[in-house]
Structure 1
Amino acid sequence: MSYTAIVDYGVGNLKSVANAMQFLGMRTLITGDAAGLERADSIILPGVGAFPDAAERLRGAGLDRVLAEQSEKKPILGICLGMQLLFDLGEEGRTCKGLGLVHGRVRKIDTEYKLPHIGWNSLTFQNGAPIFRGLEDGAYVYFVHSFCGVAADEKNVTARTDYGASVVAAVRSGNVYGCQFHPEKSGEPGLQILKNFGELNR
């Protein structure tokens, strides 16, 4: 039976993501169990909080290895801090190793605007990603963050937004996708993104 696994590692807004997927008629399983992730058709990695704590939780549970293995076989979507964890390194508080599924690092947003960046901002798409099918430039989505990914290769950047600086809003590397914003809190555009992602491997 097909389902999307939502990674439970003690960090993240699990229920709101599950509720959004279920609203779309897609089965989900909230799990921190390797077998549950291996059986899934796709995986969502949510995240709220600080990069070092979240990265240590993933490694402590052995989920870093599981996610690396599964990224070769099925779509994975990192949301907010979950997207940041996809990168090689994070610089929040101290330099900390991420999952290394998208090359680059996570740095504080270089802007004169107030941080954290909280609110609705429009997206500009680039490099074509199937999770944005049906959306046009200018779609508004909801952000809550002070740090952002800096990709080593611009070809991995699939959307940007402006917050007094050009900020990476989404990335892709093979089966691995990331959204810095919260699709589950982003109304119709967010639901379209989750629907597109949920249909990638079904």
Structure 2
Amino acid sequence: MNDQSEQERWNARYADDSYLFGTSPNAFLASQRHLLASGQRALAVADGEGRNGVWLAEQRLHVTAVDFSPAALAKARRLAESRGVEVSFVQADLATWEWKESSFDVVAAIFIQFADPPLREAIFQGIRRTLAPGGLLLLQGYRPEQIQYGTGGPPHAENMYTAAMLREAFRGFEMVSLVEHDSVIQEGAGHHGVSALVDLVARKRA
């Protein structure tokens, strides 16, 4: 599938006026509020309609939110305006986006499982590069068991995560917390119901 048709697919997903994944932040991300500090530079990866990037900005972080879909970003801008916060929104393909070295204190990577294994490795490499020493990674994703639940995410087991995979992918980071669990999530129509999850809080060593 070429980039144009892929972008059209995502734009179609976000064409409705409603917010596919809601406007509240991801619950795991919000639960890590105590680890955030005003003035930190934060990157929200594949932030879609903006719910997580806008929430980070509400915590007084300086936020860059990147997404592939212009339709999603238009809704994200409206959400930021309605909340009275500023976010730097960037339309980019994460396969070719420049992950500038040591540019962010926090990276939020929430359900970025559109990425197949080669793209996932490129994104993870980018995250490792762009986090500043001492920087924090907050990541939540689906485990392969999610396919059986069918409550969100793509129907591709190879796109899912396990704790062992994430531990290896971010080897050398301090594993603050790495937990696999099945929990009910309610994030708009896109993520709704019992879900097979894995949560990672990791810090890049200084």
Q: TM-score range by the shorter chain?
A: 0.3 to 0.5
Structure having the higher helix fraction is 2
